[in-house]
Structure 1
Amino acid sequence: MTGMYYDARWCAPHGIGRFATEVRNRLSGWDDLPLDGSPTSPSDSWRLAKCLKQNKASIYFSPGYNVPLYASCPVVATVHDLIHLHCADETSIAKRAYYRYVQRPMIRRSPVTLTVSEFSRQEIIDWYDIAESQVVVVGNGVSEEFKPDEIALPSKRPYFYFVGNTKPHKNVESLVKAFAIVAEKYGDVELKLVAKPSDAIRRLVALTPVKDRIEWIRGASDVKLAEQYRGAVATVLPSFFEGFGLPLVEAMACGCPVIASDRTSIPEVVGDAGILFDPNNIDHIADCMIRVLDDSELRAAMKQKGLQQAAKFRWSQVGERVRRALQSVAAS
């Protein structure tokens, strides 16, 4: 079939971009969409619709959440999460209007929509009011750089690790406060965060008595991320909301214990390999961190369980699930 277009504008090193890149590498017979500009631009739905019409598209697939304003061909999008419905601080009137009046109608007409977790699947079914058969979970995977038996980051002090961003739903504020409790008890422990700090988090850290033991890391490659995962006491993800939680799988694949929130998709991803906490309870977060820091046998057991859990997430399997879903649409 000709005219099958993949929206490769999403391809990037992290987040949705990693999903987009890994899936693109495993799909054959698809052309990259001949359109520039950001897929998150306010004008993109109109530009995308024109592009598909001009190029006589037979099917359009986005590894992200964007859709055209209109289309005469089948449209398959990937809705990773519905954070905008739950986090008022991370939405806007324009974003809510886009989801309600552009994306939602298109998703409801689409033969299938992809997502990455069972948690997100149920949210999509409920909010878009569509049949269960219209939503397919394809999951996420672990890139080959993330493995246990390689170099670990040399560090003079034991450290906890966070990978993500500092948007409100990531709950980094609680992590910083919990770490301060841990650091008061253990004078040689550090917190390393792979993120760009928001102004609010920057101010919080500046007022923290242990600010000299909090390090921000920017622009780490996958190789460096893997080294840092392997060297950490544990990776901590205190999010209020996740559609998946890819850093947890990357950490487990590197043999790093994981401590995480007990909300949304996170228990599904971690299974019985990690320790879960109430993200609203700073003392509970700190207690979990101290428990893992104090107990080397626990860390060893978590490492083994984590490796077993991470083995369930393979990009080759994700690619095959995506291929089958798209094939069913193309054949219909």
Structure 2
Amino acid sequence: MHVAEARHPAMAAQPRRRETLAVYADLRWPIGTGIYNVMEAYISRAPSEIEIESLSVAGGVARPLTPLALRRALRAHSSHEGVFWNPGFVPPAGSLPERLQSVVTVHDLTHRHFYGRTHRIYYDLVFRALYRQCAAVVCVSEFTRNEFLEWSGMPSDRVHVIVNGVDAAYARNRETLDYPFPYVLYPGNRRSYKNLNRLIEAFGASGLERSGIRLLLTGNPDSSLVDHARRCGCEAALAFTGVLPNEAMPKLYRGALFLAFVSLYEGFGLPILEAMASGVPVLTSNLSAMPEVAGQAAVLVDPLSVDDVATAMKELGRDHVWRAKLIARGYERVRHFDWDESAAKLWSLVDDVGSACGKSR
């Protein structure tokens, strides 16, 4: 099945090669996930010479046997010159024909750090070898590239940094969701490295609840988090958005007092940019890729220190002048993360890999 997506106007008039390049892609990433949003941003900006075809792949999108399923799906195209592109992190199993090479995006190595011993072993024994067979690996930050290179042993000239951008909808939007209370926002999943227990403890210690401010988390209520908030004395100030559609997210950000994103690990940290584009101050961690993304436009804290996080939350909740300075810096910072520029780099890399495939015939 061919992907028939509207081409982004900034990319439509930029022919890069005389012949069409077939790009076979695994496009099954679920709507609402970060990988889906990245995938859509790239597809909508693909030049007309890039013909993207969605592979018919059996099984889950990121299960242990997915590399084998990808290889089986690619066999149907083994006689054609082209490139396999995965906007996610899963490479195909085994070597591919010379005329069909792989480009895979690695967003982070969380599976090695936070998903248990089995995931780590699988990455070390299976994924590491498969990545080495790719023509190119794209990392979303210098932090991720450095970590990936050290772990994989892959030649550095085949590992590239192409940063994420931020959807223009965040900067365009001026509406909010009209919550009847001011709120500190955490948008994201609830995996252990997101550090939500310490975030709740810090909010409880900040005293912001006494000013009527709530800590608002995306998604449905979580009994373990509610219990933790009760132990911290801030249960009444913990709120949940429920499941929101993608188009509601800019409104959710715009209404926030500030973003609290104090993860222990991120390969990038897209909420940092989404908040900045929305005119919202950012509180984030001084670990992994977050300082790289935030630059000087956010408050950086030690995410392991509840006192450090609580002090910063208290200041951001009460100092209007400081928030205004951070908002101005955020607007400037977010200009360095442009989807048009990133898409041009990605498709240029894919084109280079495709050209190399043609020369190898």
The bucket for the TM-score relative to the shorter chain is: over 0.9
Q: What is the aligned-residue RMSD (CA, Å)?
A: 1.9
Of 240, 244, 264 in structure 1, the residue corresponding to residue 268 of structure 2 is: 244
175-184 vs 277-286, greater mean Cα deviation: 175-184
Residue identity matched to 1:7: D
Give 1:25 shift.
Answer: 1.9
TM-aligned CA deviation for residue 96 of structure 1: 2.7
Q: In the alignment, does 2:75 pair up with 1:53?
A: yes
Conserved in 2, the CA contact under 8 Å of 1:9 and 1:36? no
* Aligned counterpart, 2:315: 291
SS at match of 1:29: strand
Separation (CA, whole Å) in 2 of partners of 1:233 and 1:281: 22
| Displacement of 1:185 | 6.6
Report how far residue 2 of structure 1 moved: 5.9
Task: Please report how far the alpha carbon of residue 170 of structure 1 lies from its aligned counterpart in structure 2 after TM superposition.
Answer: 0.4
- Equivalent-residue separation in structure 2 for 1:63 and 1:91 (angstroms): 24
Q: How much has 1:67 moved relative to structure 2?
A: 1.4
Query: Deviation per CA, 1:223-265, whole angstroms, max 9, x where unpaired?
Result: 3221221121100111000000001100000000000110000
Instruction: Pick the aligned partner of 1:76 from 103, 106, 109.
Output: 103
Structure 1 pair 223–210 and aligned structure 2 pair: CA distance change class (3 A): same
Q: Which residue of 2 aligns with 1:313?
A: 337
SS at match of 1:74: strand
The residue number in structure 2 matching 1:17 is 36
**Which structure 2 residues correspond to residues 225-236 of structure 1 after superposition, within 5 A?**
225-236=249-260
Q: Distance in 1 between matches of 2:131 and 2:195?
A: 30
* Count of residue correspondences: 329
Q: Note if contact 1:161-1:193 (Cα within 8 Å) is conserved in structure 2.
A: yes
* Conserved 8 A contact 2:208-2:317: no
Query: Secondary structure at the residue paired with 2:37?
Result: helix
Matches within 5 A, 1:25-104: 25-27=44-46, 28-56=50-78, 58-72=82-96, 73-87=100-114, 90-93=115-118, 95-104=119-128
Q: 1:81 Cα shift?
A: 0.4
- 1:232 is aligned with what amino acid? A
CA distance in 2: counterparts of 1:101 and 1:53, whole angstroms: 24
* SS state at 1:9 partner: coil
The Cα of 1:202 is off from its aligned counterpart by: 3.9
Check conservation: 2:216, 2:240, Cα contact below 8 A: yes
**Structure 2, unaligned stretches of length 5 or more?**
1-19, 357-361
Give the distance between the partners of 2:346 and 2:272, measured in 1 at CA. 22
Question: Which SS does the other structure have where 1:259 is aligned?
Answer: strand
Q: Matched residue of 2:24: which SS?
A: strand
User: CA separation of 1:155/1:198 partners in 2, compared to 1, >3 Å: closer, same or farther?
Assistant: closer
Structure 1 CA distance for aligned equivalents of residues 222 and 342 of structure 2: 33
Aligned twin of 1:136: 160
CA contact (8 A) 1:81 1:120 kept: yes
Sequence identity percentage:
28
1:264 to 279, 288, 292: 288
User: 1:168 aligned to 169, 192, 197, which one?
Assistant: 192
Q: What are the superposed Cα offsets for residues 175-233 of structure 1, whole Å, 9 maximum, x if unpaired?
A: 10011112367341111011456554343134342212111123223332212211211
Q: CA deviation at 1:77?
A: 0.9
Does structure 2 conserve the Cα–Cα contact (< 8 Å) formed by 1:148 and 1:255? no
Structure 2 distance, partners of 1:197, 1:38, is 27
CA distance in 2, matches of 1:253, 1:133: 33
Instruction: Report which stretch shifted further, 281-290 or 103-112.
Output: 103-112
Name the counterpart of 1:218: 242
The answer to which of 249-258 and 71-80 deviates more is 71-80
- Which runs of no fewer than 5 residues in structure 1 stay unpaired? none
- In structure 1, the residue corresponding to 2:310 is in which secondary structure? helix
Q: TM-score, normalised by structure 2?
A: 0.86
SS for the counterpart of 2:28 is helix
Does the aligned pair in 1 maintain the 2:316–2:322 contact within 8 Å? yes
Instruction: Report the 3-state secondary structure (helix = DSSP H, G, I; strand = E; otherwise coil) of the residue aligned with 1:232.
Output: coil
Q: Give, as a single letter, the amino acid of the residue that structure 2 aligns with 1:212.
A: A
CA distance in 2, matches of 1:157, 1:137: 40
